[in-house]
Structures are given as C-alpha cells and as structure tokens.
Amino acid sequence: MNRVAVLLADGFEEIEALTVVDVLRRADLQVTTLALKHKDVKGAHGVQVQADALLDEATGDWDLLVLPGGQPGADTLRDDPRVAKLLHKQVQQGRWLAAICAAPIALGKQGLLKGKKATCYPGFEGQLTGAQLSQDAVVVDGKIVTSRGPATALPFALELVTLLRDKESSDRLRQGMLVHA
C-alpha cells in the first residue's frame, strides 16, 4: 500500500490539507498527517486538527510527501530543517513530492524546482527559484506536483490519486464526488 505523509504546521490552509487527506483516503491510500510541533494544529482559518503523529516520531519512507499552503504554515515548512531533510530524501529516493498554494516555496528554497515546470499561489513566484513558472491549476514535472491554491485542491488531490493509483481510480472518485471539471 502506498504511504502518504501530509505535513501540518500551524497556519496551514485547511481546504488544501483536508481535501488531500480525504480524497487520498477515499482512494484507499495510507495517509498520515504529521505535525511539526504538537499534534493539535491550528489552521489559517482557526480550524483545529489533531495530527496522526509528530514529524519527529515518523518512521519509514513515504511514497508521497504533501505540503499544504496557508500562512504562516508554508513559511514554517519552508524554514524547518527537518522538512528540508525530508524533501531531499524524497528526491534522492525518486519518490513523489507535492506542494500547493504557497507551499512550493519550500521546494524552491531547497533548489528542487530548478529547471522544473511549477506553479503556486500568485505572489509567491519569486521564491520558486529556478522554476519554469506556469499558471496551470496543477503541474506535474517528473516526481514533483504543484498546484495554485484552495480552488485547485480537489483537482490536485485527484491528480495525486492518478499518479499513485491510476486514472480509473481517479475517474471513479471524480464521478462519485460529482466533480465535473
């Protein structure tokens, strides 16, 4: 079974994090939410979430690592040395990385977007160091997936299902959730 980690820092964008968790679990993927500091994490809009575990307690490898946006959550992910180490480990192992909204800035800071096509929330493009910027809702380049923001969370999550499972699984979810876009 594919293992997915969704990183949660205080100030994360609720729609982006929880949509991904929900859709990937509907696809029968093993999703674990990992908090950076404490299991009770507060979203950018005051929604309190209890993470499954703390980042420091996490063991093993992840087939996919997901970084939701939101402020100041994305800045916290960008600046945390443990997250940086995990991002590089994912790349070295040829595993998937996904970041939405402002969160691609964490990939940019680590130089992981050089020569890659990527997107982000408007205004954060300057922090996507070396990226070929796109305004597409969801961008896949190699093993890196980026997306623009809250309104693109569902297409982003469905693309992750396509990549980890297959298009048929994603299409079944799309139909079952009445997604027509």
CATH of the domain at 8: 3.40.50.880
pLDDT tens digits, 107-142: 999 999 999 999 999 999 999 999 999 999 999 999
Q: Are strands 64-67 and 96-100 parallel, antiparallel or unpaired?
A: parallel
The one-letter amino acid code at 15 reads I
By 3-state DSSP, what share of the chain in percent is helix, strand and coil, each rounded to 5? 40, 25, 40
Q: Is residue 62 part of a domain?
A: yes
- Number of domains, the chain: 1
Q: Which domain holds residue 70?
A: 3-169
Which residues are CB-neighbours of 75 under 8 A, at least 6 positions away? 11, 102, 105
Kindly report, residue by residue over 150-178, the tens digit of the pLDDT: 999 999 999 999 999 999 999 999 999 99
The answer as to whether 45 is a domain residue is yes
Q: Is residue 181 part of a domain?
A: no
Integer Cα distance of 144 and 153 in angstroms: 16
**What's the whole-model pTM score?**
0.97
CB 26 within 8 A of CB 173: yes
Please identify which of the residues 41, 101, 128, 173 carries the catalytic annotation.
101
In a domain, 125, yes or no: yes
- Concerning whether 101 is annotated as a catalytic residue, the answer is yes
Over the stretch 38-48, which tens digit does the pLDDT of each residue have?
A: 999 999 999 99
Q: For residue 131, is it within any domain?
A: yes
User: Do the domain assignments include residue 178?
Assistant: no
